[in-house]
Amino acid sequence: MKTIDELGDLTGKRVLVRSDLNVPLDGPTITDDGRVRASVPTIERLARAGAKVLVMAHLGRPKGVPDPAFSLRPVAERLGELLGQPVLFANDTVGAEAQRISAAMGDGEVAVLENVRFNPGETSKDDAERGAFADQLAALADVFVSDGFGVVHRKQASVYDIATRLPAAVGGLVQAEVAVLERLTATPDRPYAVVLGGSKVSDKLGVIDNLLEKADTLLIGGGMVFTFLAAQGHRVGTSLLESDQIDVARGYIERAAEKGVELVLPTDVVVAPRFEADAPATTVAVDAIPDDQMGLDIGPDSAAAFAERIRGARTVFWNGPMGVFEMPAFAAGTKTVAQALTEVDGLSVVGGGDSAAAVRQLGFTDDQFGHISTGGGASLEYLEGATLPGLAVLDGADA
């Protein structure tokens, strides 16, 4: 993939940057600006090189029509604070305002275009409709830089089609993400531990399948663990259970044994009678989950066992919380795992999404980990061995 260094002199060039600014909002307030902060180095570098930087991104799922609840205006304001310079904001993506700003910008200025998903062509499955929107985007700029790692697994106009219409390069964020993922898949220092959580086994099938060939230890928590426990013959009460995946989970347990991969499941869980923050929490062994209770976190013995294996590894990849970390009574397992990742003598990778949100909510800072990915879904698909369209198009490969 061509890098920014290979684009030559960018002074006076209009550079269209695809960033990932899909941040959580509470009204107009950004509750986690991690993705905005991650986008700053590439934008800053281009501005300092004298480029006219037009930033495009999405926020939420506005269904192809403008929706004030998903406006990028608060994000543009936060980006300006982080850059320490004014950031222009176009109230449309490719309309009159975007065209005016693109034409009038000075060297080193930065502008944010309104949410690309306000335009139906962005996410269209129809190549012609998507291409027509990409043509409108391309008309605003001279060069394209792909720096939104969280969307490179999407075949969308601002990610894929635009790269076929302008000279294109990869930004520093995507470069760094790919370098880390290459280490995880091709050259991990060993022992290599993978920690998977989150709600569903079905969300992680591909990554489990692929990492059973690569990891030394696979630790499983979160809601998905109850399908594995059911596969071992345990009753799981009212816990989240994917009955159609029990045989699949049983197959993974058997494969891990055959491959010599240590597959670690919890021995105790924290249960409650209902999914509520104030529900009375109890710790029970996994073979003693009451029929009228649901598991909402891994238990303290399990968390300690997970932490021991994490600290003993040289490479750790973690995706998915161990429990309902948003509720204090069910956050201890996730916090113990996060703490252990900060103590790894080697590479510790937090795989984006809910895991990244969890470590910040629980009081950890980004620099306590080797790498916090900005793209949960993209990270998982890369680790599955899938072709990511937004990377393939920059490689000149068929997506």
Give the CA count within 13 Å in the CB-facing half-sphere of 395.
12
Q: Is 241 annotated as a binding residue?
A: no
CB 256 within 8 A of CB 297: no
> Which residue is catalytic, options 200, 250, 259, 311?
200
Within the chain, what is the greatest distance between any pair of CA atoms? 68
End-to-end CA separation in angstroms for the chain: 14
Q: Is 255 annotated as a binding residue?
A: no
Helix ranges, 316-375 (H): 332-341, 353-361
- Which among 14, 182, 213, 168 is positioned nearest to 102, based on CA atoms? 14
Please say if 200 is a catalytic residue: yes
Rounded Cα distance, 135 and 164, in Å: 10
Cα dihedral 45→47→53→58 (10° resolution): 50
Q: Is 172 annotated as a binding residue?
A: no
How many C-beta atoms lie closer than 10 Å to residue 261's C-beta? 20
Which tokens belong to 86?
């004014």
Phi then psi for residue 259, to 5 deg, are: -85, -10
For 112, the 3-state DSSP assignment is strand
Q: Is 190 annotated as a binding residue?
A: no
Rounded Cα distance, 51 and 57, in Å: 18
CA distances from 171 to 111, 135, 149 (A): 17, 21, 9
Residues in Cβ contact with 271 at an 8 Å cutoff, skipping those fewer than 6 apart? 237, 239, 281, 282, 283, 284, 289, 290, 293, 294, 295, 296
For 369, the 3-state DSSP assignment is coil
Please say if 353 is a catalytic residue: yes
E strand intervals along 230-335: 262-264, 268-272, 282-285, 294-298, 315-319
The helix-helix angle for 376-384 and 353-361 (nearest 10°) equals 130
Q: Is 189 annotated as a binding residue?
A: no
> Which residue is catalytic, options 197, 222, 333, 377?
377
Q: Is 117 annotated as a binding residue?
A: yes
Please say if 377 is a catalytic residue: yes
Q: Is 154 annotated as a binding residue?
A: yes
> Which residue is catalytic, options 35, 52, 309, 335?
35
Q: Is 353 annotated as a binding residue?
A: yes
How many C-beta atoms lie closer than 10 Å to residue 283's C-beta? 15
Q: Is 354 annotated as a binding residue?
A: yes
> Which residue is catalytic, options 353, 375, 376, 390?
353
C-alpha 378, offset from chain centre: 6
Q: Is 376 annotated as a binding residue?
A: no
Identity of the residue numbered 209: D
Strands 347-350 and 371-372: parallel
Q: Is 258 annotated as a binding residue?
A: no
**Catalytic sites, residue numbers:** 35, 200, 353, 377
Sequence ranges of the binding site for (2R)-3-phosphoglycerate: 35, 117, 154
Residue ranges for the known binding site for substrate are 20-22, 35, 58-61, 117, 154
Q: Which residues are annotated as a binding site?
A: 20-22, 35, 58-61, 117, 154, 204, 295, 326, 352-355
Q: Which residues are annotated as a binding site for ATP?
A: 204, 295, 326, 352-355
